[in-house]
Amino acid sequence: MATAYQNLSSYDFNSVPDASAMRIGIMVSEWNGDVTEKLLEGACNTLEKHGVKPGNIYVERVPGSFELNFGARMMAEHLQIDAVIVLGCIVKGDTPHFDYVCEAVTQGLTELNLRYNIPFIFGILTTNNLKQAEERCGGIYGNKGDETAIAAIKMIDYACRIKK
């Protein structure tokens, strides 16, 4: 989480396992595309920086954040991947729609993590306004896409170690 004390793009490079053999899916919401494309760019750049081959990064898009769960499940079922990063941006408006979408996506990703043998990484910005989202997709608080890439690499490494 981005705070005044922690930047989303800050991490100890040496604490990240080798990712050269990893295959990672990224499911991206098209809604708030200016933000989600920057999240995607951050995630891909960070994955490649840690050894994931560009050909082992599988990117798909769905119309909105509500559709991310279905897209992520399909990705897990039909691609040989080690993790799915889910990227979206839900900005609070004047109606309760924000609450319903946030709850549905959060619950859905929790269920996917429990049902499948691969990690699903939560990369959904849930902000009060677009400015807050922009601050978290490469702005003053870093890029949540970077954070999700590191989480995916570390969770894949953990899953591999625990299965041995």
Q: What is the DSSP string of 42-75?
A: HHHHHHHHTT--GGGEEEEEESSGGGHHHHHHHH
CA-based max dimension of the chain: 50
| Active-site residue flag, 97 | yes
Give the helix/strand (H/E) hosting 26. Answer: strand 24-29
CA 98 from chain centre, in angstroms, equals 19
Query: Among positive and negative, which fits the CA dihedral 45, 50, 54, 57?
Result: negative
Q: What angle do CA 41, 18, 48 make, to 5 degrees?
A: 20
Active-site pick, 53, 97, 115, 131: 97
Catalytic site positions: 97
